[in-house]
Amino acid sequence: MGAGRFAPSPSGDLHLGNLRTAILAWLFARSTERKFLMRVEDLDRARAGAEAQQLSDLAAMGLSWDGEVVRQSERSNLYAAALDGLRDRGLLYECFCTRRDIADAPSAPHAAPGTYPGTCRGLTEAERAAKREMRPAALRLRTEVGSFTVTDELHGAYTGVVDDFVVLRNDGVPAYNLAVVVDDGIQGIDQVVRGDDLLSSAPRQAYLAKLLGYGIPAYAHVPLALNSEGKRLAKRDGAVTLAQLAAEGIDADAARAVILASLGLPTSSIDAALAAFRPASLPTDPWVFTTSPDARGTGKPIGWPS
């Protein structure tokens, strides 16, 4: 039996867009008889109390998960072992470039913006030693391809750039692209459902998974929730977290119903939605969610989608 997962970063409360993605990840996993795992990606931004609130909000949506919650902060030995294996194969090199260095460096013709141009790839040991005196090094993967193709259930075949991406930051923290691949591989995750803003990172991660001997998961990058300005939904957009909605008299069941309605699914319960769930019938456009201050007192809940 394979597994799907939801992996939030505990930087604050989940908003309705995050909860919508979590519900979709749960529906995809449960509808294919996979386990559904919960992973907290707390290597970087972790706010006190955020993890507990996020898990509480997910449970309030009716979501359940299998096994214990896994935290990246407790898995540093696994990331170190993966890095050691890549290093032993000569697949890592030190990089001393700043973001400004990369932005200002000449790039190959037709290279995607932000693609690493390989500045530090061919440094001599003497050059690396001199640069270490000025700043700590990150570690980059010495890739052997320029692109990689993944298959996505909603987007079909997707080919993206695979440059020499960072796997260990210069502050010693494993990079997201390494940690997520190691976690998915070790946890047996063979289905990744997440926002389509992360589609462009899938080829890098799939390529690294192949290098590390893991299977490449089935991907489904789902449309994001946007505000009325067409920007990614955020807490500043009004009553968009469960706590904010509760303050307006809207409970978790009503919030879940709004999300399920946006997916064209029955709103009575999460189990009814699961029974009707068909990936091919999912909306392909972003969900535009608006907050309407003048909705107070009209019987229309604050934050009802347009």
Q: What is the pLDDT of residues 57-78, one digit of tens each?
A: 999 999 999 999 999 999 999 9
Please indicate, yes or no, if residue 301 is contained in any of the structural domains: no
Please indicate, yes or no, if residue 206 is contained in any of the structural domains: yes
- Residue 305: the pLDDT is 58
Please indicate, yes or no, if residue 28 is contained in any of the structural domains: yes
- The closest alpha carbon to 183, from 41, 21, 87, belongs to 41
Query: Which residue segment(s) compose the domain that 192 sits in?
Result: 75-222
44 and 90 together in one domain:
no
Distance CA 20, CA 35 (A): 19
237 and 199 together in one domain:
no
207 and 254 together in one domain:
no
Please indicate, yes or no, if residue 302 is contained in any of the structural domains: no
What residue numbers does the annotated binding site for L-glutamate cover?
5-9, 41, 176, 194
pLDDT, tens only, 245-298 = 999 899 999 999 999 999 999 999 999 999 999 999 999 999 998 765 444 443
182 and 206 together in one domain:
yes
69 and 33 together in one domain:
yes
Please indicate, yes or no, if residue 303 is contained in any of the structural domains: no
120 and 19 together in one domain:
no
What residue numbers does the annotated binding site cover?
5-9, 41, 95, 97, 116, 120, 176, 194, 235
80 and 212 together in one domain:
yes
Please indicate, yes or no, if residue 180 is contained in any of the structural domains: yes
Please indicate, yes or no, if residue 300 is contained in any of the structural domains: no
17 and 102 together in one domain:
no
- Residue 254: the pLDDT is 95
98 and 212 together in one domain:
yes
- Residue 300: the pLDDT is 47
Helix (H) or strand (E) holding 139: strand 138-141
Q: Is 235 annotated as catalytic?
A: yes
Q: Which residues of the chain have pLDDT under 50?
A: 293-300
**241: CATH:** 3.40.50.620
Amino acid in the structure at residue 269: S
- Residue 297: the pLDDT is 40
Of these residues, 35, 210, 231, 235, which one is catalytic?
A: 235
89 and 144 together in one domain:
yes
The number of folded domains in the chain is 2
- Residue 45: the pLDDT is 73
Q: What is the percent of the chain with per-residue pLDDT over 70, rounded to a whole number?
A: 93
- Residue 109: the pLDDT is 54
Helix (H) or strand (E) holding 218: strand 218-222
Query: Domain end: 176, 199, 222, which one?
Result: 222
237 and 213 together in one domain:
no
Please indicate, yes or no, if residue 9 is contained in any of the structural domains: yes
Query: What's the whole-model pTM score?
Result: 0.92
At residue 124, φ and ψ (nearest 5 deg) are -80, 165
Asked if residues 10 and 47 have their Cβ atoms less than 8 Å apart, the reply is yes
Query: Domain end: 177, 204, 222, which one?
Result: 222
CB count within 10 Å of CB 97 equals 22
- Residue 235: the pLDDT is 79
191 and 228 together in one domain:
no
- Provide the mean pLDDT of the chain: 92
Dihedral of alpha carbons 226, 228, 229, 235, sign: negative
Query: Domain end: 222, 242, 264, which one?
Result: 222
- In order of 114, 115, 256, the CA distances from 106 in angstroms are 11, 11, 49
